Structure 1
């Protein structure tokens, strides 16, 4: 069960030595860069770079495989929906029509549409590995102090820290409840029918939401009793100053963002057209 929880896990790769703020800035700027351009050369480069960082973080794939499975399923559904509503959108973008499969009526497949859908899929692999790396390699307390370090109010930073801390707790409680239900004879594994699994998981999620709200109220009351938020500034136990690695990380983030803007100017739009 522990392997299925998404949250901070101790490690010894260089990514753990970076400040949480620098990793967040890198994730946000690179995500913006990948979302603003459809230049396949750029997005493929970022996707490969993200996967290399994922490997460098020494994160075992089996620990996060279900996340990638969900992303693949969502990407597949997204591609089907886009194709269903706009099967000729690619040729409108690139100004060329090269039919690969004639199909039926308006549902034919062209090289341009296939290329456009391929670009949509690549974007997932640009950002999802970075998000997983950020969650697993960043300690919530250290991340909160880093956010406050770059000028974000400490109340907001502490809220983010509590959120990151609470994600694994919610997941663990969910799996514990599900295991208890299965021990009572309620089948929720893959052996059960899909409808039964959905109904059973919903019966877990609803009480879990109410128990989570109750915990939030308890934490808020405890913080108020300790006069949290009285002062405008506070000190941090897990404080980390920016070092050379953080500077390089933020420089790369800005560099990737500027490259995406340059490619938009070079391509005279967001889309790279290989048929020109």
Structure 2
């Protein structure tokens, strides 16, 4: 199964052909709708929208669902934190464990929001080349007065694009280090703290090394982030504008109804 976790999947679908600015703006609108959603009908609407987008992208729903695997360890943690730390009517009480109905509802809501945000963000990265994401972000940031802060739209777009590209690399490094430590006899089930330390330290060192290699590669190519040109100039067409009209309409539906 292809892992699409913040990785590009080559294709020629309708979503692949959309302007990157259209997809970025749509993702922002959908993210607002996800945070504004508060009842099952809202979440059901967003789930249906995701399933439609995953089908149109040509990769299928299962591939996107599989991309959640690197984050599965965090979802139970988020849920149980809300379940046990939220004040309200007790479900039961066993010593210090006092889950509440309000915590149960909030935990399910927060986890659902995180899942939807990751899935929609994965659709963006799966259907848009990293270079096009950088180009789209740069064009969106260009009207902003960033020079007053001492940065340019090119710099900000490059930083965000590189951050997105490092996410799958980070989890892949973690997987490789974990498998290497297990092959050396580590048993994460018996000593969790030791397992975490044996994985986290090499992972931090590996991440720093990757960042240093990237810095040297950019310096060797004389990257300065100013007055850059692009091989393919972005140009929005009628379909892009139609999408930008439809997506905010969904946002309005979720917020108002």
Q: CA RMSD in A?
A: 3.7
Report the Cα distance in structure 2 between the residues aligned to 1:107 and 1:204, rounded to whole angstroms: 33
What's the CA shift string for 1:84-141, capped at 9, x where partnerless?
A: 334637xxxxxxxxxxx9756996976x876666544543453232122122222100
Report the Cα distance in structure 1 between the residues aligned to 2:200 and 2:98, rounded to whole angstroms: 39
Is residue 2:40 matched to residue 1:44?
no
Report the Cα distance in structure 1 between the residues aligned to 2:211 and 2:70, rounded to whole angstroms: 31
Report the Cα distance in structure 2 between the residues aligned to 1:103 and 1:201, rounded to whole angstroms: 32
Q: How does 1:212-227 map to 2 (within 5 A)?
A: 212-227=207-222
Give the superposition deviation at 1:239.
3.8
Closer/same/farther in 2, CA of residues 117 and 237 from structure 1, 3 Å limit:
same
In structure 1, the partner of 2:237 is 243
In structure 2, the partner of 1:28 is 28
Q: How does 1:98-247 map to 2 (within 5 A)?
A: 103=92, 119-152=109-142, 153-182=153-182, 185-187=183-185, 192-196=187-191, 199-200=194-195, 202-229=197-224, 231=226, 233-247=227-241
Decide which structure has the larger Cα Rg and report it.
Answer: 1
Is residue 2:251 matched to residue 1:257?
yes
Give the superposition deviation at 1:23.
1.6
**Structure 2 alignment gaps of length 5 or more:** 143-152
Report the Cα distance in structure 1 between the residues aligned to 2:116 and 2:178, rounded to whole angstroms: 33
Closer/same/farther in 2, CA of residues 62 and 8 from structure 1, 3 Å limit:
closer
Report the Cα distance in structure 2 between the residues aligned to 1:76 and 1:180, rounded to whole angstroms: 26
Partners of 1:47 and 1:125 within 8 A in 2:
no
TM-score (normalizing by structure 1)? 0.69
Closer/same/farther in 2, CA of residues 135 and 187 from structure 1, 3 Å limit:
farther
TM-score (normalizing by structure 2)? 0.73
What's the CA shift string for 1:190-245, capped at 9, x where partnerless?
A: xx4424576446424422322332332343344345443263x3211344322233
**Structure 1 alignment gaps of length 5 or more:** 90-100, 264-276
Give the superposition deviation at 1:147.
1.3
Partners of 1:29 and 1:253 within 8 A in 2:
yes
Which structure has the higher relative contact order (CA within 8 Å, separation 6+)? 1
Give the superposition deviation at 1:29.
1.6
Partners of 1:8 and 1:139 within 8 A in 2:
yes
